[in-house]
Amino acid sequence: MPHEFDYYVLLFFVMAFIGWLWEVGLFFCMEHAFINRGVYRGPYLPIYGMGGLALCFLLRSFRRKPVRVFLLSMLLCSGLEYFTSWFLERLWGIRWWDYSGHFCNLNGRICLLGAVVFGLGGTALVCLLLPLYDRLYPKFPKKVRMVLCLILLAVFIADITYCAVRPNTGEGISWS
């Protein structure tokens, strides 16, 4: 079912923020340090936003088939992670993550554990979170949604512009 533009913009930012929370929280638990894990300065990881949108578009019809959603999420998200790793390295010459020491890795860009986590996350998104999002979305007035979209997009574009010259490469940013 097609939705308005703001539906997808807000979903992108929700997923990008959840991904940022996941990565920062995981790193904090493992290393006991707060590190902004993204390329950008803001509290979002666009790879999770794009992955969430891709899963929304491609897997929504499989909502009642969680095993299929799990397997397809593993495949789609791992492909996105591999491509993004390759692209970022070509663009800035930096590896933001490296799974070389992990079991069943492919060129250090993806690994089996990551794929399983993406499968679980994709299943949670498609089977649980999207239905919740679909119920909550219409409860906010359209004007509120549009203003929020404009603010988020303006901040995001400013962040992209700034980080095109100065990407976030702070201490601890790369994960190996």
Q: What's the gap between Cα 134 and its chain centre?
A: 19
Q: What is the rounded average pLDDT for all residues in the chain?
A: 91
User: What confidence score (pLDDT) does residue 2 get?
Assistant: 60
Residue 14 has pLDDT above 50, yes or no: yes
What is the tens place of the pLDDT at every residue in 135-153?
A: 999 999 999 999 999 999 9
Mean pLDDT of 90-105: 89
Cβ neighbours for 114, distance < 8 A, ≥ 6 positions apart = 78, 81, 99, 102
Q: Which two tokens stand for residue 79?
A: 């492909």
Residue 111, helix vs strand vs coil: strand
User: What confidence score (pLDDT) does residue 75 get?
Assistant: 97
Mean pLDDT of 34-51: 88
* CA distance linking residue 103 with residue 110, whole number of Å: 10
Query: What is the model's pTM?
Result: 0.85
Residue 65 has pLDDT above 90, yes or no: yes
Residue 31 has pLDDT above 90, yes or no: no
Residue 175 has pLDDT above 70, yes or no: no
Residue 159 near residue 40 (C-beta atoms within 8 A): yes
